[in-house]
Amino acid sequence: MRNTLIAAGLLASTALLAAQPAQAQVTVYCSALMDWCQVMSNAFEKKTGIKVTMTQKGSGETLAQIRAEASNPKGDIWWGGTGDPHLQMAEENLSEAYRSPQLEKLHPWAQSQAKQSGYRTVGIYAGTLGFAYNTELIAKKKVQPPMCWADLLKPQYKDEVQISNPASSGTAYTAIATLVQLMGEDKAFAYLKGLHGQVNQYTRSGPAPARNTARGETMIGVMFLHDAVAEAVEGFPVAVQAPCEGTGYEIGSMSIIKGARNLDNAKKWYEFSLTPEAQALAVQGKSYQIPSNPQTPTPPKAPKLEQVKLIDYDFAKYGTSAERKRLIARWEKDVGSQPK
């Protein structure tokens, strides 16, 4: 009798647990700084009660993961990271079409990203490509800080430059595409070969050169300027420079993953991310990009697009899978595989 009662009690408990609804959840792949990913996750959970499972990787690695998981998606939404791989994701039909009711409230460049992708991605911030230098190392070695792309090839910067690897980092791919548009492809790759001799490390992630420059591990880093601004705000001896010849920029983007298991919650994250309330959290996450919602106050220390000589970056061409694959393959053959 006792065993029968215990068994009945266990069955009743199991039935009760089964009857309780599972906690709402969403899986977010984040390609922004980890601090910003965490701030966003905490704010969304607090506002909605939806549990967030967050993983952080660079843009190139995240796109590769989404491709690998295409037949059985594990993620629901990809938030942050350079726009080119988001456009490639849309081209490969790896993202869901979704047109936000807030779209018309966003900056034109954010709306353009959405329209170009067939509403499979949207711009959430913008950032300028450039480089940063450690002011203490510059002074110690008694050299002038770099002002132009051409300066990075000067002998005094031998083994003093860091940039990320384009196979894993959207930042580095943006740099290649920028130089190709600025100089022409053959001249750009000649420049990249010359730069190879100056590079002490190709990092996996785009923000890493900013951290390493700030901490004196390298004199110069190539990155999106807002990543270095974040280090300067923390008190590190780092200054930023937009190249004098001109430079490219990113439209950091967001895409719902095709076949998302938690589609409704992914849309809730999407809508939350476009609000001024959510975009204003960037500063708490030590990020200083230009927000896509003009009602969001732009951080005072954020690099201003209008103060930089920008190229007319061709997102339609350089956001395609074929062009990205071709340029990275050429870089690996002509540059990355070469001895130093």
- Say how many domains are in the chain: 2
In a domain, 7, yes or no: no
CATH code where residue 79 lies:
3.40.190.10
Q: DSSP assignment of 277-334, as one string?
A: HHHGGGTTTT--PEESSTTSPPPTTSPPGGGS-B----HHHHTSHHHHHHHHHHHIII
Residue 259 has pLDDT above 90, yes or no: yes
Question: Do 254 and 216 fall into the same domain?
Answer: no
Q: Compute the distance between CA of residue 295 and CA of residue 275 in angstroms, rounded to an integer.
A: 8
Q: Does position 321 have pLDDT exceeding 90, yes or no?
A: no
Tell me: do 37 and 167 sit in the same domain: no
CA distance 230 to 211: 9
Judgement on whether residues 119 and 258 belong to the same structural domain of the protein:
yes
Let me know whether 180 and 276 are in one domain.
no
Over residues 163-184, the mean pLDDT reads 95
315 part of a folded domain = no
pTM for the predicted model, two decimal places: 0.81
**Do residues 104 and 34 share a domain?**
yes
CA angle 173, 323, 197 (to 5 degrees): 40
277-313 pLDDT tens trace: 999 999 999 899 999 999 999 888 888 878 899 999 9
User: What's the pLDDT at 7?
Assistant: 42
Q: Does any domain span residue 312?
A: no
Q: Which residues span the domain enclosing 195? A: 128-248+323-336
Residue 325 has pLDDT above 90, yes or no: yes
State pLDDT tens for residues 18-52: 443 467 999 999 999 899 999 999 999 999 999 99
38 CB-side CA count, 13 A = 6
Q: Which residues pair with 132 in a beta bridge?
A: 221, 240
Q: Is residue 11 part of a domain?
A: no
CB contact set of 300 (below 8 Å; sequence gap of 6+) = none
Q: Are residues 226 and 93 part of one domain?
A: no
Rounded Cα gap, residues 122 and 108, in angstroms: 11
Rounded distance, CA 211 to CA 59, Å? 18
Cα–Cα distance measured from residue 23 to residue 18, given in angstroms and rounded to the nearest whole number? 12
Same domain flag for 142 and 208: yes
Does residue 331 share a domain with residue 223?
yes
Residue 232 has pLDDT above 50, yes or no: yes
Between CA 279 and CA 256 the distance in angstroms is: 18
Q: Per the structure block, which two tokens stand in for 301?
A: 């220390």
Q: What's residue 9's pLDDT?
A: 45
Claim to verify: residue 263 and residue 120 sit in the same structural domain = yes
Confidence of residue 171 (pLDDT cuts 50, 70, 90): very high
Residue at token pair 């589609």: 263
Residue 240 inside a domain? The answer is: yes
Which two structure tokens, joined as six digits, stand for 157? 């910067």
For residue 184, tell me if it sits in a domain. Answer: yes
Please report the pLDDT score of residue 150 as a whole number.
Answer: 98
Instruction: Report the C-alpha gap between 107 and 124 in whole angstroms.
Output: 9
Distance CA 249, CA 83 (A): 10
Backbone angles phi, psi at 333, to 5 degrees: -75, -45
The reply to whether 15 falls in a domain is no
What mean pLDDT comes out for the span 126-151?
Answer: 96
Per DSSP, helices labelled H in 141-236 are 170-183, 185-196, 208-214, 225-233
The amino acid at 137:
L
Could you tell me the two tokens for 330? Answer: 């050429």
Closest CA to 269 of 41, 91, 65: 41
Give the model confidence (pLDDT) of 47-79 as tens digits.
Answer: 999 999 999 998 889 999 999 999 999 999 999
Tell me the angle at which helices 83-91 and 170-183 cross, rounded to the nearest 10 degrees.
Answer: 90
The percent of residues in the chain predicted with pLDDT above 90, rounded, is 83
| Helix orientation angle between 263-273 and 34-48, rounded to the nearest 10 degrees | 110
Same domain, yes or no, for 120 and 165?
Answer: no
Q: Are residues 151 and 215 in the same domain?
A: yes
Q: Are residues 71 and 206 in the same domain?
A: no
Burial 119-133 (b: 16+ CB within 10 A, else e): bbbbbbbbbbbbbbb
Q: Is residue 3 part of a domain?
A: no
